[in-house]
A and B are shown apart, each in its own frame.
Chain A
Amino acid sequence: MASNEIEVLDPAASVEKLRKIAAGRALNRRHFMAALGMTGAAAGASFLSGCTVTNGTPLTSTAPGQTDVLNFALNLEFLEATFYAYVTQGADLPSSATLNSGAITGAPSKITFAGANATQITDLLNEIYFDELSHVQDLISLLGSAAVARPAINLAALGAVSASNALSIARTFEDVGVTAYAGAVTALTDSNLTYAMQILGVESFHSGALRYSIILQNAATPGTDPYVPASDGQDVAPFDPGTAVLAAGGPSASGGFFNTFGASTAGSTAGVAKTRTTSGVLSIVYGGGATGTSKGGFFPNGVNGLINTV
């Protein structure tokens, strides 16, 4: 196969095989995750803790497989894409992406930005929307009949969306998304892994541009884009603490250009993105729920698929 072709696994045929492979690797993964000490927020939680009874499906002895991980990601992409669809187009996603969807609430009208860089921000968000819609379509295409439908989404879970907080809420989505993918990659292999990394790359593209835009916006008009933090505190505010601080230790307690560990986090790997477990991510999108929470926040009925509980 030429180096520029992609290999797409047929999920319908491979799900069971993937489950068995994933189960076999599960024990090794548990050791690596523990040894890393880099699982971000949810203390004691691991990727494997997502196994639970859902919608009457009996508890199985196999760990969540690659299909489940990709569906977990698809739920997050649905959230992001739907948000940007309303913010930039004033309308929902194309119908091909919303088959059997849950209800969408808290959707804003199309946002009109004002002030410095307003046109550029508008254009930027349109390209971000293209990317997120593409991620939804690409994952649906990859998963085929195994793809979950879009769950019910409340877009106003972090506040009614307006011109003053759209960038900041978007920023939160992208930075949480980066940590979600970074935390999930060791559960994936081959082309699934490569795709996840390629999507992770784009989430980080979005993060960098949004954070820089917010910093410039607040520099021009202070307080224009108030910081919307991720609920677990494992998050860095978009803020410019100045050259000396950044060169010496990366982001300060006030924030930084990039969402990384700084020197202030003793014992952690500096200069890199954080990782979150699926539980850690779900806690955030469910509005800060504790272990056992299965719905809330952006997902009033929970996410779809096997990985759905904090």
Chain B
Amino acid sequence: MASNELEVLDPTATVEKTIEIAAGRALNRRDLMAGLGIAGAAVGAGLMSRSSAGRPRVVEAAAEYTQTDYLNFLLNIKYLQATFYACITQGTDIPANYIVNGTTYRPVLGGAPLSNQPAKVVFTTLTNGNQITDMLNEIYYDELNQLIDLQNLISASNSMNVVGTVAVVRPLIDLLGKGSTTVGTTTVTAAAALAQARMLEDVSVTAYTGVAAFLSGANLTLAAQILGVEGAHASALRLACIQNAVPYQATGYLAFTGVLTSGSAIVANVSSVAGLLVGTAVAGTGIAAGATITVVGTTSVTLSANATASTAANAVTTITTTIPGDNVDVEPVDIGAAAAVKGPSSVSGTSNPTISQGFFATAGSVTTSIPPGFAFKRTTSQVLAVLYRPSLAAALAADTATTVVFEGGFFPTSMNGGINTI
């Protein structure tokens, strides 16, 4: 191997490795939806009502994505972010008509309604709460204007785009990523809102780094200009999360170990509770099917159902959450100067071994698949694996040649446009 190549080393447990291998295969697949005639600009597109369990894969010649497809992919993500910030900072959806320097724009373009639409959140109770409130309002302004910038670019007829191409409208969005198609409102705590905002910004960064090589000219320049702000949003939010010890919202599966007792709902001696949330589904030997976490302690968790088998004596049971996606993320934590000078790392004894910690979502000094000190990148498939939140079973099934995952999580009826499957 040449000296300037980097090799993927995977020192983690067997379960994690299985997930990575399965995910890795799935993520290389081209979108075959194009072969079904759903390619390119799709105003109000959609496939008709679909089973959320997936649909048969039609093996067609894979179509190349256009730059418009990639921009519309980024536009879908921007709809999610702009709408989320509008709700939590303004208490309303993004405006139907938005005036910038005398020109009226229509950011929603007549798109779909919202599920789990959160009410305006009060952030002033947090440490530096006034600054956080103001910062989130500026982020809202940025995201709304980036949305318009993307719409304008996609819809403009110039030599980079097909004449007459239009930006896709906003699809149905579940603003809390729960996969619900029921239109309605909800509330979210300040900490949870911060945690999700942070996660979406870091995922957004990786979406832009991941599609960059497919863009050129004005499309690439705008993507770079947006990236230059998304990263700043991410790190400012990460700092706010650190200063408030906000519980981590993960992008991927988490693995931990514990001790089960048959007939008891308590998992004892949990290796790490980092990232575990009430409601998270879990799986493992001796855990009842469909069990979820009902209480998160400091060294134990309580499940919604009793264990069906005990952990063997002097052993531990490996338990995985079924929040899907990946582990290309870094938990916002100040690991101290001595550790930070070596980049993000997993601090043994205090953190989930599959997640690194640090101020920024970058690769640390342990050999990884990307250069140290670089931001991560995700393919469109990897981004959707995070945003669609398929179950572990569905994600693994998506690796086969017979099913695709095309909706769920933040996009319960799929993204609009040519790129919308894992």
Q: Mark B348-368, 1 if CB is under 8 A from A, else 0.
A: 000000000011111001000
Which parts of A150-188 form the interface with B (CB within 8 Å)?
Answer: 178-179, 181-182, 185-186
In B259-280, the 8 Å CB interface with A consists of none
CB-contact partner of B213 in A142, A178, A190, under 8 A: A190
Asked if A254 is an interface residue, CB under 8 A from chain B, the answer is: no
**Which A residues are CB-close (under 8 A) to B48?**
none
Complex alpha-carbon distance, A3 and B140, angstroms: 33
Per the bound structure, the CA–CA distance linking A57 and B226 in Å amounts to 37
Q: Who on chain A is nearest to B128 by CB?
A: A216
Q: Interface 1/0s, chain B 208-244, versus A by CB < 8 A?
A: 1100110011101111111111111111101110110
The answer to whether the Cβ of B181 comes within 8 Å of any Cβ in the partner chain is: no
Total A-B pairs in contact (CB under 8 Å)? Answer: 292
Residues of A within 8 A of B226 (CB): 272-273
Closest to A219 in B: B131
Quick check: A182 and B225 within 8 Å, CB to CB?
yes
Closest residue of A by beta carbon distance from B381: A3
Q: For this complex, into which size category does the number of interface residues on chain B fall?
A: 35 or more
Chain A binding surface, main DSSP class: helix
Q: Let me know if B362 and A258 touch, CB within 8 A.
A: no
- Cβ–Cβ < 8 Å partners of B360 in chain A: 127, 131, 202, 205-206, 209
User: If the complex has contacts A4-B24, A6-B6, A259-B232, are A185 and B134 also in contact, measured as CB distance less than 8 A?
Assistant: no
B212 near A194 with CB under 8 A, answer yes
Task: Give min CB distance, B213 to chain A, whole Å.
Answer: 5
Interface 1/0 per residue, B374-404 and A, CB below 8 Å: 1111010110000000000000000000000
Given contact pairs A212-B135, A259-B232, A123 touches B335 in the complex (Cβ within 8 A): yes
From A32-40, A223-231, A284-292, give the one contacting chain B.
A32-40
- A window 193-246: CB within 8 A of B: 193-195, 197-209, 211-213, 215-216, 219, 240-243, 246
Residues of A within 8 A of B220 (CB): 185-186, 193
- Contact present for A271 and B142 (CB under 8 Å): yes
Contact A257 B236 (CB under 8 A): yes
Residues on B with C-beta less than 8 A from A241 are 134
Q: How far is the CB of A30 from chain B (nearest CB, A)?
A: 11
A243: chain B residues at CB < 8 Å are: 133-134, 137
CB <8 Å contact, B228 and A182: yes
| Contact yes or no, B134 A246, CB < 8 A | yes
Task: Given A250-B138, A260-B142, A266-B101, decide whether A194 and B209 contact each other with a Cβ distance below 8 A.
Answer: yes
Q: Does A88 contact B (CB under 8 A)?
A: yes
Residue of B nearest to A4 (CB): B369
With A134-B343, A209-B236, A272-B226 given, is the CB distance from A127 to B142 under 8 Å? no
Residues of A within 8 A of B342 (CB): 130
- Flag whether A24 is at the interface (Cβ < 8 A): no
Q: Determine which of A120, A186, A273 lies in contact with B217 in the assembled complex, contact meaning CB atoms within 8 Å.
A: A186
Pick from B143-151, B164-172, B312-320 the stretch touching chain A. Answer: B143-151
CB of B27 within 8 Å of the partner chain:
yes
Of all chain A residues, which has the CB nearest B201? A208
Chain B residue at minimum C-beta to C-beta distance from A262: B141
Contacts of B337 in A (CB 8 A): 88, 122-123, 126
Residue of A8, A126, A182, A273 near B341 (CB, 8 A) is: A126
User: Judging by beta carbons under 8 Å apart, are A127 and B232 in contact?
Assistant: no
What's the Cα separation between A247 and B339 when bound, in Å?
Answer: 37
Which chain A residues border B377 with CB–CB below 8 Å?
Answer: 194, 197-198
A131 adjacent to B138 (CB under 8 Å): no
* Any A CB within 8 A of the CB of B36: no
A-B contact pairs, 17 of them (CB 8 A): A5-B8, A8-B5, A120-B242, A127-B359, A130-B343, A182-B227, A186-B221, A194-B209, A194-B212, A197-B224, A216-B131, A243-B133, A263-B101, A272-B145, A272-B146, A273-B228, A274-B225
CB-based closest 8 A-B pairs: A134-B373, A273-B228, A204-B231, A271-B145, A208-B232, A201-B375, A208-B235, A272-B225
- Using a CB–CB distance below 8 Å, which chain A residues touch chain B? 2-6, 8, 10, 28-29, 32, 35-36, 38, 88-89, 120, 122-124, 126-135, 137-138, 141-142, 144, 178-179, 181-182, 185-186, 189-191, 193-195, 197-209, 211-213, 215-216, 219, 240-243, 246-251, 256-260, 262-263, 266-267, 269-275
